[in-house]
Amino acid sequence: MTIQQTRRDTLLMLGASLAMGGSASSDELSEKKDFMQASLAAVKQNGQRLEPTSKLSFGMIPVVRPFVDWDYYYTMGPMYWLPNEGQPFRTVFIPKGFVTDLASVPRLLWSIFPKTGRYAYAAIVHDYVYWVQDRTRAEADGVLAAAMQDAKVPASTVTEFNLALGVAGSKAWNDNAAARAKGEKRILAKFPDDPLISWDEWRKRPDVFA
């Protein structure tokens, strides 16, 4: 079996695991801390919309803060992703306070695809589009691939993530639609002041959402 075939089989495992769901654990703490230390870019934090002026808007390292379990994060400022010239996609605006789990990779595959890899920015963009569903799922997946390419993610990894989405994307899309229909929210108006609070605890408070 070739290396390419092995990685392909691994991605099918990734997709299957995502389709069944899964949870993170403290074993990925070091990788997540490395990501947080790199998340130092300055962004406006007053909740105002940032007007995109060029593709450089993509270059903003996402400033995110974790809940205590390091499974979920919220954006500390607004973010943009802009399509390249000729791409059939619309700009993605992510408001301050959006809650994301970054790249939804099961623990079994962290050594190959850490949740906080080079594709983390693209994962936040993809999470948001999958949540608001203001375009088709096919376009959402296309945005992920384009955003990963912008971040210079290796082409093989982009292909592998697309493979995983082919297996698991439909379930994630439908689960988000069902959650929104039931009134679940993911955009915070109020940030926690207790560093030991979890996302599950914080989201049960009725006054924290936009």
| Residue closest to 68 by CA, chosen among 207, 190, 199 | 199
pLDDT of 30 reads 54
| Residue closest to 143 by CA, chosen among 160, 154, 130, 157 | 130
Give the Å distances, CA to CA, from 100 to 25, 53, 56, 62, 87: 16, 25, 23, 11, 25
Sequential pLDDT tens for the chain (210 residues)? 444 554 444 444 444 434 434 444 444 455 445 544 444 333 333 334 445 554 544 445 668 899 998 889 999 888 888 888 888 899 999 999 999 988 765 554 444 555 566 788 888 999 999 999 999 999 999 999 999 888 888 898 888 888 888 887 888 899 999 999 999 999 999 999 998 999 999 999 989 997
User: Which tokens go with 73?
Assistant: 């994060």
Rounded (to 5) percent helix, strand, coil in the chain: 45, 10, 45
Q: What does the pLDDT look like over 51-60, one tens digit per residue?
A: 555 454 444 5
Is 146 within 8 Å of 83 (Cβ atoms)?
yes
Is 205 within 8 Å of 54 (Cβ atoms)?
no
